[in-house]
């Protein structure tokens, strides 16, 4: 339960950070929703890995192994995110801000499950929480 709470808190921080970048790029810099999304996720990726490694899963494993797995999980989660964003903005023509939120929710769901059961599954300290 503690791990889930930490995941949610870290996720909230990182989500606010990422959306801050996305909406700044989209509205202040007038970038496309897709480009804003790509930039926001790219910048927050490193922050996300470090926070989840240290705070959420308290991992003591080597960075290399986890980082590679984390990138695989990110790629899968982000593909789901971007695909949903494009579908919502262009096919359904939903508001681009609302579309970012729905796409982000899909990303978070896929990311948590894959991080918990694939990336950080054998962390010794996290397994005890």
> Which uninterrupted H or E stretch holds 2?
helix 2-23
Q: What DSSP designation does 120 have? A: S
pTM: 0.71
**Mean pLDDT across the chain, nearest whole number?**
89
The half-sphere exposure of 81 on its side-chain side, counting CA atoms within 13 A, is 23
Is pLDDT at 126 greater than 50 in this prediction?
A: no
The pLDDT tens digits for 22-79 are 999 999 999 999 999 999 988 898 888 999 999 998 888 888 889 999 999 999 999 9
Write down the pLDDT at residue 122: 64
Is pLDDT at 127 greater than 50 in this prediction?
A: no
Distances in Å between the Cα of 90 and the Cα atoms of 33, 76, 106 are: 11, 21, 17
Q: What is the rounded distance in angstroms from the CA atom of residue 1 to the CA atom of residue 63?
A: 25
Q: What is the rounded distance in angstroms from the CA atom of residue 52 to the CA atom of residue 26?
A: 27
């Amino acid at each position: 339960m503690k791990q889930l709470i930490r995941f949610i808190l870290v996720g909230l921080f990182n989500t606010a950070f990422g959306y801050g970048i996305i909406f700044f790029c989209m509205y202040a810099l007038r970038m496309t929703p897709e480009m804003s999304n790509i930039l926001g996720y790219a910048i927050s990726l490193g922050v996300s890995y470090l926070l989840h490694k240290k705070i959420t899963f308290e991992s003591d494993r080597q960075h290399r192994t986890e980082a590679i797995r984390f990138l695989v999980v990110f790629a899968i989660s982000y593909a789901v995110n971007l695909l949903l964003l494009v579908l919502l903005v262009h096919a359904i023509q939903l508001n681009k801000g609302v579309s970012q939120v729905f796409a982000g929710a899909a990303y978070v769901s896929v990311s948590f499950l894959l991080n918990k059961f694939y990336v950080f599954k054998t962390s010794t300290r996290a397994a005890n929480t």
